[in-house]
Amino acid sequence: MTAPTDIKKGLAGVVVDTTAISKVNPETNSLLYRGYPVQELAATQPFEAVAHLLWHGELPTADELADLRREERAHRALAPRVRAAIDLLPLDTHPMDEVRTAVSVIGAIETAGIDSVLEVGGSPADNLARSIRLFAALPAIVAYGQRRRRGLEPIEPRDDLDYAANFLWMTFGEEADPVVVDAFNRSMILYAEHSFNASTFTARVVTSTLSDLHSAVVAAIGALKGPLHGGANEAVQHTLDEIGDASRVGAWLDDALAQKRKIMGFGHRVYKRGDSRVPTMQAALDTLVAHYDRPDVAELTHALEAEFVARKGIYPNLDFPSGPAYALIGFDTLTFTPLFVASRVTGWTAHILEQAASNALIRPLSAYDGPAERHVEGYVPDAAAL
């Protein structure tokens, strides 16, 4: 049995399985998706091609990309029953709860009629098709959530726009400038996959019981929502809004650190000298700052990063530049983590497919530190309590 000294809290530093999907390398501060450096993919590929790479292990041929685009565009529209489910929720429901609910409804509808738990796992072909349909459906769900909160009707998708441009079209109702589309596409690629992070490992745990893909994605959404994980990009914007401008960074940090607050968007369980994705996302943010002529955003983010790194030696993670980038594009702060879901659903489903193929139940051990064995006859309840 595991002695208490063997315990690795949070599984920090523990290698629990292999994966061929991505390699996070803190020593070289690098990230490879199926062997390709993520910064090369972000600079050259449409997100659809990277989704194909994560699912199939190779970048698509022209025909394969055309096939994926056809399938994705055929499933972009907000399904009436999904819209009806979202409309049942209070208008001030957190968007991550809307997205979690929508995916659950999609799963229930897609797998209706399967009447044996032995069949819920689905074949690799079923699950790849389900993955593409979720990949296609999430932009409409996220876009509708923001528009509903603003009292606006949903916007129909456009088949003449690629994934990133159509996502922005459905959210804002106008064709985005190519500079904005490119920055958004890069963010989708950077958020897509990151080995056994908390939400991905959650999806793998659910899949390891031979449960279904949608249950695994719903569980992953729940894990991503937390501010120590995906919720951090929303929390970064709350922090920047709270500070206000660069001149107030020092005083704000004095107060936050005195309260032992975690500064959102900084630190990482694996990267300890900076997140490999930050330079690429920072460059995208810089492009947006210039495009929207918002030097104040650059001044504030640079001041907070410089001050916190100087004080604690803890570096920004991907969520730090992503938050202000999404704010500049016009997304509501509460929409930020659902954007992470729309991207990470490709990584999650690639891991679901990989875990299902390995067919190994994930069930770690625990070291008991509760009361020694005792017996009920010793239990005499206080008569008054009954």
Q: Give the SS3 label for residue 318.
A: coil
Q: Does 353 bind ligand SDX (CB under 6 A)?
A: no
User: Cβ neighbours of residue 147 under 8 Å, at least 6 residues apart?
Assistant: 153, 154, 155, 171
Single-letter code of the amino acid located at 239: T
Residue span 226-255 as binding mask against ligand SDX, x where in contact by CB under 6 A, dash where not: --xxx-x-----------------------
Whichever of 267 and 324 has its CB closer to ligand SDX, that residue is: 267
Radius of gyration of the chain from its Cα atoms, rounded to whole angstroms:
22
Find the part of the chain contacting ligand SDX (CB under 6 A) among 75-83, 122-130, 155-163, 262-270: 262-270
Q: Does 317 bind ligand SDX (CB under 6 A)?
A: yes
Do the beta carbons of residue 50 and residue 60 sit within 8 Å?
no
Q: How far is the CB of 75 from ligand SDX (least distance, A)?
A: 25
> Is 160 a residue of the active site?
no
Q: Give the SS3 label for residue 374.
A: coil
The distance of Cα 261 from the centroid of its chain, to the nearest Å, equals 23
Binding test (CB under 6 A) with ligand SDX, winner from 267, 321, 323, 324: 267
Residues paired with 266 in a beta bridge: 316
Whichever of 38 and 168 has its CB closer to ligand SDX, that residue is: 38
Q: Does 269 bind ligand SDX (CB under 6 A)?
A: yes
Q: Catalytic pick from 229, 238, 293, 382?
A: 229
Task: Report the candidate in 238, 328, 322 with the shortest Cα–Cα distance to residue 280.
Answer: 322
Q: How far is the CB of 202 from ligand SDX (least distance, A)?
A: 11
Task: Report the candidate in 11, 34, 20 with the shortest Cα–Cα distance to residue 189.
Answer: 34
Q: How far is the CB of 285 from ligand SDX (least distance, A)?
A: 16
> Is 229 a residue of the active site?
yes
Q: Does 263 bind ligand SDX (CB under 6 A)?
A: yes
Q: Does 130 bind ligand SDX (CB under 6 A)?
A: no
Residue nearest to ligand SDX (CB): 267
Q: How far is the CB of 72 from ligand SDX (least distance, A)?
A: 23
How far apart are alpha carbons 124 and 56 in whole angstroms? 11
Residue span 76-115 as binding mask against ligand SDX, x where in contact by CB under 6 A, dash where not: ----------------------------------------
**DSSP one-letter string for 154-188:** -----TTS-HHHHHHHHHHSSPPPHHHHHHHHHHH
Single-letter code of the amino acid located at 111: T
Q: Catalytic pick from 194, 214, 268, 351?
A: 268
With residues binned 3-state (H G I as helix, E B as strand, rest as coil), the percentages for the chain, rounded to 5, are 60, 5, 35
* Contact residues: ligand SDX, CB under 6 A: 194, 197, 228-230, 232, 262-270, 314, 317-319
Active site residue ranges:
229, 268, 319
